[in-house]
Amino acid sequence: MKNLIGIDKIKAEELNKKLNQLLADYQLFYQNLRGLHWNIKGREFFELHLKFEEFYNDAVIKVDEIAERILTLEGEPLHTFTDYLDTSNIKEVKSVTNGTEGINIVVKNFSILIKKERNILDLASEANDEGTVSLMSDYISQTEKTLWMLNSYLH
């Protein structure tokens, strides 16, 4: 049995489960970035304040894209903070003011995201779901470059 866009319904359900997990992770990632943006202090303030804003602006776009992909696959996106907290592998961070600590948190969070994106990419390939494959490919390429740059910043 296939859904409206021609994807096997069972495979689409599995993709929606994984996409909802990714959605929850991006929501926690987004909120962590807001906190880092607001609370960062020190000599790197101006640089990191802008960088964290760049990251959270990108994350909020991805949140919407992931939710819309779930809807396209005939699922329902998670939309409560309770669900996000229960589902996310990214954990809340609070009151981080140190720039290096903030960057390390962002690197750890990006590492969680890229692992999930690769897993979704594999599932989407098996399901012949080009729309999700394309979305994850774009996210992975962007995240790889960002991780390289953040690692260079730290060393």
Note the pLDDT of residue 86: 97
Show the domains of the chain with their CATH numbers.
9-154 (1.20.1260.10)
Q: In the chain, what percentage of residues exceed pLDDT 90? A: 100
* Apex 141 CA angle, 89 and 124, nearest 5: 65
Note the pLDDT of residue 68: 98
Is the overall model pTM greater than 0.95, yes or no?
yes
Task: Give the span between the Cα atoms of 35 and 81, in whole angstroms.
Answer: 16
Hey, CA dihedral for 76, 79, 84, 88, is it positive or negative?
positive
Instruction: For 29-83, write each residue's pLDDT tens digit.
Output: 999 999 999 999 999 999 999 999 999 999 999 999 999 999 999 999 999 999 9
